[in-house]
Structure 1
Amino acid sequence: MMKTFTKTTLAVALVAFAAGAMAVDGGNPKKGRHHYKKECKVCHSADGAGGELTPMSKTMSQWDRFFQRDKHKKAPEVFEGLNQQKLLDINQFLYDHAADSDQPATCG
């Protein structure tokens, strides 16, 4: 029984470590919420040109991938107007309130 507990504990620790490794580093979620509302919600509301997009639209890892790789492929010029810190802040806000986070949110 002790071995099962140890293996389970190790597995949970590895998953937590892997998830933490992808987490945003250096972002301020409060500023990110403000920037998201100002910069993103213009197009990403229910009737916006980009379609509705909220923090709960993706998982934490999907938000990280979006900011690390995708970089807004459909309209890359959108990211050109945002400095690196604003992008980190927005990423942190979306990550912290993603569908699989402890505090999912819609950004009302």
Structure 2
Amino acid sequence: MNKKLIILAVVVMVALFGTTLLFAQGPDGNKRKGKYTYRNVYKACAARGEVQSKTPIVSPADKTMAQWERIFEKKKFDFFKCSTEWNKLSKEDMNDIYSYLYNYAADSPTPAKCK
């Protein structure tokens, strides 16, 4: 009886832990490609003259993971500026950028240290 109870407790713990890991992963895009694409958006935008700097004006660490999630769910990209370039991005590129920003957010295990 005692063995069955212990086995049941272990199975329940593994099931709960595994479920938590599934929901805690965030977006499934390519964060390395997202960083590259994100930087290229601002290079194109600077070439057009809308922003002064070729480097992105918003760092991933400027917001938390929950804030990035809300921004990409609502598709509110106005504060990024460069709306012409953002409107040209494919769904895949947007997901990659989202992965980059989400995975290096202020409250992530590895927040971005610089822009």
Task: Report the counterpart of residue 92 of structure 1 in structure 2.
Answer: 99
CA RMSD of aligned residues (A): 3.1
Shift in Å, 1:66: 0.8
Structure 1 runs of 4+ aligned residues shifted over 3 Å read: 16-19, 40-43, 73-78
Cα distance in structure 2, aligned partners of 1:99 and 1:64: 13
Cα distance in structure 1, aligned partners of 2:93 and 2:21: 26
Q: What are the ranges of 5 or more consecutive residues in structure 1 without an aligned counterpart?
A: 1-8
Larger helix proportion of the pair: 2
1:27-74: CA deviation from partner (whole Å, max 9, x where unpaired): 00010110111114656xxx54xx831000100111111111043135
Which structure would you say has the larger Rg? 2
Residue 83 to residue 107, structure 1, CA distance change in 2 (3 Å): farther
Task: Report the counterpart of residue 20 of structure 1 in structure 2.
Answer: 24
Whether the aligned pair in 1 keeps the contact of 2:41 and 2:86 (CA below 8 Å) is: no
Task: Report the counterpart of residue 69 of structure 2 in structure 1.
Answer: 64
Which segment is superposed worse, 88-97 or 74-83?
Answer: 74-83
Amino acid at match of 1:79: W
- Identity across the alignment (%): 32
How many pairs align? 89
Whether the aligned pair in 2 keeps the contact of 1:32 and 1:93 (CA below 8 Å) is: yes
TM-score calculated relative to the size of structure 1? 0.64
Which segment is superposed worse, 84-93 or 32-41?
Answer: 32-41
Cα distance in structure 1, aligned partners of 2:97 and 2:74: 15
